Structure 1
Amino acid sequence: MRTSVDVHNLLTELDIPHEIFSARGRLRTPERIAAVLDLPPALVGHVVVLEDPNRAVAAVVPSGRSPKPRAVAKATGTSNLRIVSSDRASELTGYLFESIPPAGLPAGLLVALDRRLARAEVLYFPGGEPRAVLKIRGTDLVRIPGMLVADLIQPPRSARTRGPASAAAR
């Protein structure tokens, strides 16, 4: 299994500023990271692994959000992507499912970062182990070789339902 040391070593080799620190207790979800660190959920991200018959993709998205498989496929040049099970995600990444970081992933795994996160001043992610937290700037995540940046998530429900007709009704 990979650990936070793999994350730290990669980011250090790339001269990318970051912090990895240990929190109290297991941080099983991005929402738990936000709660334990008293952070707004918008500052916490997570990795969702998708796969088609030929490739696997790690989609890095804001907490509480899921990637839209078609958007991820378009950004990565893949097709027919499906979100994988937690066991399969661990198998593909080498990390425990709850601890998959956005950096230090195996070579050959495509990684796409949602554009909203790429612009963030500071972000927090699982750091490769159940208690590890990675603190990094969005602009630094973009510097990781091979990192793709695209709109990966569906807009919030309220934004999708607003159109000319609903605007006129207000």
Structure 2
Amino acid sequence: MARVKLTVNGSEVSREVEDRTLLVQFLRDHLGLTGTHVGCDTSQCGACVVHLDGHAAKSCTILAVQAAGASVTTIEGLADGDRLHPVQAAFREHHGLQCGFCTPGMIMTAVDMINRHAGRLDEKTVRHELEGNICRCTGYQNIVKSVLAAADEMRPGLSLSGLQAAE
């Protein structure tokens, strides 16, 4: 057993875990943050994407002990109550989800993508960067549309942590 201390969604947490506990299991089972989904357990689907020290990471490939001392943001950490993050708002407005299972990972990947590209994205880049995230319900058209809309909104001076009021 190991004691893992890290910051999750802005709050410091500390728990005893088995050495083999994956970060996704730590978030879901030890902290009750079930927005991070387990889809495949093999790093293929992207449903488990979180931000680890500000960068997208598949939490099914990282041991909780490896994340000790790090800062983790989950899908629950993007919104501020009723105020959605611009990417969450764009997914809602442009129907970038269907069943919703892949949506948290898609959104977390999109936030990281927009950050790395300073909001300057085109359809080809978005499609390429989403290759590590699988959606079994859609043809990705509305997901891509959502990411591009969020990137356009966030580019003109909004910080990436800027929030938009929910309607």
TM-score (structure 2 length as normaliser):
0.29
Normalized per residue, which structure has more strand? 1
TM-score (structure 1 length as normaliser):
0.29
Greater RCO (CA < 8 Å, at least 6 residues apart): 1
Whichever of the two has the greater Rg, that structure is 1
